[in-house]
Amino acid sequence: MQQLLPDEAHDRIDINPIGFGDPLRWLWRGLQDMASQPLISLFYGVCFWLMALILLAVFKSTPEYTLSAVSGCLLIGPFLAMGLYDVSMHMERSEPPSMGSSLTCWESHIRSMSMLIMVMVVMELLWGRASLVVFAVFFNSAGMPTTATVLEAVFNPQNWEFVAAYICVGGFFAGLVFASMMVSIPMILDRDTDAITACITSLRVFVDHTAVSMLWGALITVLVVLAMQPSAAGLLVVGPWLGFASWHAYRAAVRVTAPSAT
């Protein structure tokens, strides 16, 4: 008869209470982290800025390849974000952060990060497919949409039904991605959690504190939109700022307790 072994002990994950004033505190602490590490912040800011410039160039020249460019950013972005989380984590532990550590912190979490990125890419592909379906339902033009036709469709008041449907579809997928990734990557870095547990925990935070999470998402959106003008240069500051702030959002929202030794 096969002997039954006791279940392996796991970390206990609790969701902390957070309020409407907390997102501003996360931004303030992120700003402090960025000010204390200007060179590292500048490096990551340049990386985010270059990614935005590539996306803008692709959208203007060959919009049909924008989805592929976004997929590439989804592959690189999480590793950049994890580097910023690593800097904040070391400072929180009163340890000296370094550029080398931030660039290689993902190596010991490659399995979880690979799974998480696969989930992100799948959701992004579904998002893109749903967007194309919306275009197909409302427009009968043949071929791939150009930059001019996309902008004309969006800003034409007569196409309000299309704009409403497009916003609903985009909002649903954007909310799903945000809810799944709100605390998952810093949790993987902090506790070496598997990707599924990290995503579920992130969804728990969003469900338990939906209003605060939506406020946090709105603040992120506003800052990113403002950073895109002119020529996305604002991402030099906003990119690393939001990265540092997101670490503090995770630390405020999630409490992980290691299993007690028996």
Higher pLDDT among residues 111 and 64, named by residue:
111
Separation CA 95–CA 256 (nearest Å) = 20
Which of the four pLDDT bands, split at 50, 70 and 90, describes residue 7? Answer: very low
**34-48 per-position pLDDT tens digit:** 999 999 999 999 999
H or E element, residue 254: strand 254-257
Q: Highest mean pLDDT range out of 9-13, 25-29, 108-112, 191-195? A: 25-29
CB 184 within 8 A of CB 201: yes
Higher pLDDT among residues 67 and 233, named by residue:
233
Confidence (pLDDT) at 138: 67
14 has a pLDDT exceeding 50: yes
262 has a pLDDT exceeding 80: no
Give me the mean pLDDT over the 80-108 stretch: 92
CB 16 within 8 A of CB 212: no
**121-168 per-position pLDDT tens digit:** 788 778 777 777 776 776 655 555 555 556 566 666 666 777 777 778
User: Any residues with CB less than 8 A from the CB of 23 and at least 6 apart, and which?
Assistant: 212, 215, 216, 219, 249
User: Which two tokens mark 201?
Assistant: 């925990």
Least Cα distance to 112 among 187, 9, 188, 183 occurs for 188
C-alpha dist (Å) from residue 88 to 40, 93, 247: 11, 9, 7
User: Which two tokens mark 216?
Assistant: 């946090």
Question: 256 forms bridges with which residues in the sheet?
Answer: 13
246 has a pLDDT exceeding 80: yes
H or E element, residue 121: helix 110-138
User: Any residues with CB less than 8 A from the CB of 87 and at least 6 apart, and which?
Assistant: 33, 37, 40, 97, 101, 102, 244
Confidence (pLDDT) at 129: 76
Confidence (pLDDT) at 6: 37
Least Cα distance to 224 among 213, 211, 237 occurs for 237
Give me the mean pLDDT over the 192-219 stretch: 93
Which of the four pLDDT bands, split at 50, 70 and 90, describes residue 86? Answer: very high
**pTM score over 0.75:** yes
206 has a pLDDT exceeding 70: yes
Confidence (pLDDT) at 153: 61
Q: Which long-range contacts (CB under 8 A, 24 or more apart) does 87-94 make?
A: 87/33, 87/37, 87/40, 87/244, 88/30, 88/33, 88/244, 88/247, 88/248, 89/186, 89/189, 89/190, 89/247, 91/33, 91/36, 91/37, 92/247, 92/251
**59-70 per-position pLDDT tens digit:** 777 665 666 666
Higher pLDDT among residues 45 and 116, named by residue:
45
1 has a pLDDT exceeding 50: no
Which of the four pLDDT bands, split at 50, 70 and 90, describes residue 106? Answer: confident
Confidence (pLDDT) at 140: 59
Paired sense of beta strands 254-257 and 12-15, if any:
antiparallel
